[in-house]
Amino acid sequence: MLIWIRTLIRNSFFQVGAGILLTMILGGAMLQFLEPGDISKDDNPYWWAIVTMTTVGYGDFSPETPAGRIFAVLIMFIGISLVSLLTASISSIFVAQKIREGKGLEKLNLTNHLILCGWNPNGERVLDSIQHLSGMKKRDLVLINELNEEEVTMLKNRYQGMHIHFVTGDFTQEEILNRAGILDADTVMVIPNTTGSEVATYDEKTIFATLTIKSMDSNIRVVAYLLDRENLTHIKRADADEVVVGDDFSAHILASHAVDPGVPQIANQLIESNSKSRFKRVEIPSQFVGQHYDALFDHFKDKDGSILIGVFSEDENLGIGAILSSDASALDAFIERKLKDGGISLQEESKINVVVNPGKDYILKEGERAIIIP
């Protein structure tokens, strides 16, 4: 209790406010002693004191005696000084907050926002895609990395189609993640970080960050980017919701350029974020739930010429990797090795269950969404 009182007394805002209140009370009391007439009746002297101190000057009351006028001059100078200090204190609070936000030190108050952990030369391509895919909707995006203030300012100016916020620090620490509002985030993306000075490999940092986020709240959606496919089992055991491996698509496109010319060009059109023909996900109208797939196909074709290519839903099944304990015990290692020898992976499938071009007799289910080509 005493510590709280001492802290309050040392606060400059409290000191200035107390000075204004004290001056108003003592000034009003002194004026009652110096001045006769209406100005000294009831609460008039205190009203006069606060009006004079704030330089409002309504003029409804004024001192008439020489002593009262001399005292009024003193109240004016004291009031101007205290009100100026009060204004300066309030301004300093907002300026300090803006400075802390610019340096990435302020706790953010956001909901349903995106978080991008880590930074590398491909980070701007990620921001480009998010901005294009968001369309006219300005999304809140929080960057957690160790970029300097000038680099972050440059990104904010370049991507004005988003509300970019910044938190500096190590994104594997709970304190830093809480500062970014991790518990209220929509999705967290973790990419290889090349801005830090840590000794661990990039994938190890990604796995550690995923473990930390999921330990804070297992319901947080985490999308992780790996450089090495050998770490896929580890990131899945960290319970990442989606995993992107850096060499998967690029290797396929490279081979397709040599073996199937034309296919990679079409693939680029379908996935390029600013392409008019890119894949889009849309809601399935409720009247089509329980009907055949071909009815929904005809609906989109007749509506605006879009082509329905498949449906997807979130898979809530528990993977084998989640059953094993989080520590690398000898029993877990033995089970994992035997499953791999038997051709069974540890939760290496996406948690999004996709059905591409199902038969016409496929029945649409509750909770499914559609993938179309406009």
Q: What is the CATH number of the domain that holds 127?
A: 3.40.50.720
Residues 13 and 124 in one domain: no
Map tokens 């004005």 to a residue.
160
List pLDDT tens digits, range 318-356: 444 444 544 445 555 555 555 555 554 544 445 678 888
Residues 74 and 146 in one domain: no
Identify the pLDDT of residue 347: 46
Query: Confidence band (pLDDT; 50, 70, 90) for 199?
Result: very low
Residues 215 and 268 in one domain: no
In this structure, are residues 205 and 120 in contact, taking their beta carbons and an 8 Å threshold?
Answer: no
Hey, what amino acid is at 110?
A: L
* Among candidate residues 197, 223, 247, the one where a domain is terminated: 247
CA 124 → CA 228, 240, 263, distances in Å?
Answer: 21, 23, 26
Q: What's the average model confidence in pLDDT over 185-191?
A: 91
Residues 160 and 133 in one domain: yes
- Looking at per-residue confidence, does 275 or 206 come out higher? 206
Mean pLDDT of the chain: 82
Q: Indicate whether 107 belongs to any domain.
A: no
In this structure, are residues 213 and 232 in contact, taking their beta carbons and an 8 Å threshold?
Answer: no
Residues 210 and 327 in one domain: no
In this structure, are residues 68 and 34 in contact, taking their beta carbons and an 8 Å threshold?
Answer: yes
Measured between alpha carbons, how far is 165 from 193 in angstroms, rounded to an integer?
Answer: 18
Q: Indicate whether 220 belongs to any domain.
A: yes
**pLDDT above 90 for 177:** yes
Residues 94 and 33 in one domain: yes
Residues 310 and 338 in one domain: yes
Identify the pLDDT of residue 231: 87
Residues 216 and 267 in one domain: no
Identify the pLDDT of residue 319: 47
Q: Indicate whether 254 belongs to any domain.
A: no
| Residue 29 Rama label (left phi>0; alpha psi -120 to 50; beta) | alpha
Sheet holding 221-226, edge to edge: 163-168, 140-145, 114-117, 187-190, 221-226, 242-245
Residues 307 and 240 in one domain: no
Residues 224 and 118 in one domain: yes
Quote the number of domains for the chain: 3
Q: Which residue segment(s) compose the domain that 219 sits in? A: 114-247
List pLDDT tens digits, range 26-58: 988 888 888 887 787 888 888 888 888 888 878
* Among candidate residues 62, 79, 102, the one where a domain is terminated: 102
Q: What's the average model confidence in pLDDT over 81-91?
A: 84
Residues 277 and 349 in one domain: yes
Q: What's the average model confidence in pLDDT over 208-219?
A: 92
* Among candidate residues 81, 102, 123, the one where a domain is terminated: 102
Residues 357 and 243 in one domain: no
* Partners of 373 in the β-ladder: 307
DSSP H or E segment with residue 296: helix 293-304
**pLDDT above 50 for 128:** yes
